[in-house]
């Protein structure tokens, strides 16, 4: 058995995203929520569209390479947990990620599953898997559980300038298909989108 250890940081969207939104609003960015059937539904005044619609891109841009993976995770109060832990098993891998108020325990992942219902059997599997790498889990106080749909793509992340787009908007950059690694890949993908914008002189 081999093991690896490294220093990193934990990115909590629940804490960070409100800060980002507040900063963007202060810079004059306007947020507008709407349902789209196609990119053509957007206003013609847009010079650039960055498509980050995840599974929605299956219908929005007719990408049949997209498929969901349902991911069941548990939020729990776990004593004496100060580091991320993860095993490398392929049959029932486990991870424990400390957040500010609790720890994230995962995961049961089911490809091509649109069902977001919480099943007690999967909860048990997560707790048992996490106990293998951290005995403290047996004292965990479960705070919440959730099943989310991870936007996976057969050929990996699509991050590119759409050279074939012939709609009314000048340029479209696609950035979707990150699977269960959206938070992990967010900084790098955002930088790559910026590089495309600067290289093409879009704005």
Q: Render pLDDT for 74-96 as a digit per residue (tens, 0 to 9).
A: 999 998 888 898 887 766 679 99
Kindly tell me if the per-residue pLDDT of 32 is higher than 80. Answer: yes
Tokens at 149, concatenated: 């749909």
- Average pLDDT of the residues in 100-121: 94
Tokens at 182, concatenated: 């959206």
In CATH, the number for domain 42-65+154-203 is 3.40.50.720
Question: Which residue spans of the chain are classified as CATH 3.40.50.720?
Answer: 42-65+154-203
Phi then psi for residue 198, to 5 deg, are -70, -40
The fourth-level CATH superfamily of domain 68-151 is D-Amino Acid Oxidase, subunit A, domain 2 (3.30.9.10)
Return the pLDDT at 8.
80
Return the pLDDT at 136.
85
- Average pLDDT of the residues in 142-147: 96
Kindly tell me if the per-residue pLDDT of 169 is higher than 80. Answer: no
From CA 70, how far away is CA 116, in angstroms rounded? 7
pTM tops 0.85, yes or no:
yes
Return the pLDDT at 91.
62
Based on the number of CB atoms within 10 Å of its own CB, is 50 exposed (0-12), middle (13-18) or buried (19 or more)?
A: middle
First to last CA, the chain: 51
């Amino acid at each position: 058995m081999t093991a690896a250890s490294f220093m990193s940081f934990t990115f909590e969207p629940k804490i960070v995203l409100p800060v980002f939104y507040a900063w963007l609003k202060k810079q004059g960015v306007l947020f507008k929520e709407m349902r789209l059937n196609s990119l053509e539904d957007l206003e013609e005044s847009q010079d650039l569209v960055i498509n980050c619609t995840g599974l929605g891109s299956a219908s929005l841009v007719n990408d049949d390479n997209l498929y969901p993976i349902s991911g069941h995770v548990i939020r729990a109060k776990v004593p004496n947990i100060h580091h991320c832990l993860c095993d490398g098993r392929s049959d029932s891998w486990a991870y424990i990620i400390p957040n500010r108020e609790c720890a994230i325990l995962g995961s049961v992942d089911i490809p091509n599953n649109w069902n977001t219902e919480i099943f007690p059997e999967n909860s048990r599997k997560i707790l048992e898997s996490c106990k293998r790498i951290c005995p403290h889990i047996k004292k965990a106080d479960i705070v919440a559980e959730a099943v989310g749909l991870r936007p996976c793509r057969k050929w990996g992340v699509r991050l590119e300038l759409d050279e074939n787009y012939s709609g009314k908007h000048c340029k479209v950059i696609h950035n979707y298909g990150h699977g269960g690694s959206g938070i992990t890949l967010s900084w790098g993908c955002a930088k790559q989108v910026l590089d495309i914008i600067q290289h093409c002189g879009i704005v």
